[in-house]
């Protein structure tokens, strides 16, 4: 069976991002995590973490090699909510220290939608499902 996972490559902040997301989303589950050992080029950083989240799987790493690129908003995690208060709460927490690309509003295609880039650079689209 083939399975598709979203791969998130951080530049040293994977552990902090994982803890932040776990504190925001009750179903954010770190299934396994491997940390670079002290003798490696990236001691203490996330070598690979496998995450289950809202019936989706993520692979999260800290790149051992510095890159000139980072996350791009054209690829984002799209999260549907059934509860407006939960959407508002997640919006507040994820946008803290980040950048609001589209503030919470009624955009016609959704009665309540927001698009943000969090403080780690990951793009999130938050939608109230009707």
Tens-digit pLDDT profile for residues 34-71? 999 999 888 999 999 999 999 999 999 999 998 999 99
Q: Which domains does the chain have, with CATH numbers?
A: 6-62 (3.30.720.100), 77-128 (3.30.720.110)
> pLDDT grade, residue 29 (50/70/90)?
very high
Phi, psi dihedral angles at 63 (to 5 degrees): -65, 130
> Helix (H) and strand (E) counts for the chain?
2, 8
Query: Which residue in the block uniquely carries the two structure tokens 């001691």?
Result: 43
């Amino acid at each position: 069976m083939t399975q598709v996972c979203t791969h998130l490559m951080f530049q040293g902040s994977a552990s902090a991002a994982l803890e932040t997301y776990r504190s925001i989303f009750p179903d954010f589950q770190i299934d396994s995590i491997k940390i670079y050992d002290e003798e490696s080029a990236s001691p203490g950083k996330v070598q690979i973490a496998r995450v289950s989240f809202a019936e989706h799987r993520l692979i999260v790493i800290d790149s051992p090699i510095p890159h000139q690129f980072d996350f791009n908003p054209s690829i984002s995690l799209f999260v549907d909510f059934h509860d407006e208060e939960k959407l508002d709460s997640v919006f507040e927490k994820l946008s803290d220290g980040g950048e609001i690309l589209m503030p919470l509003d009624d955009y016609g295609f959704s009665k309540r939608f927001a698009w943000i880039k969090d403080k780690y650079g990951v793009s999130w689209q938050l939608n109230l499902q009707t």
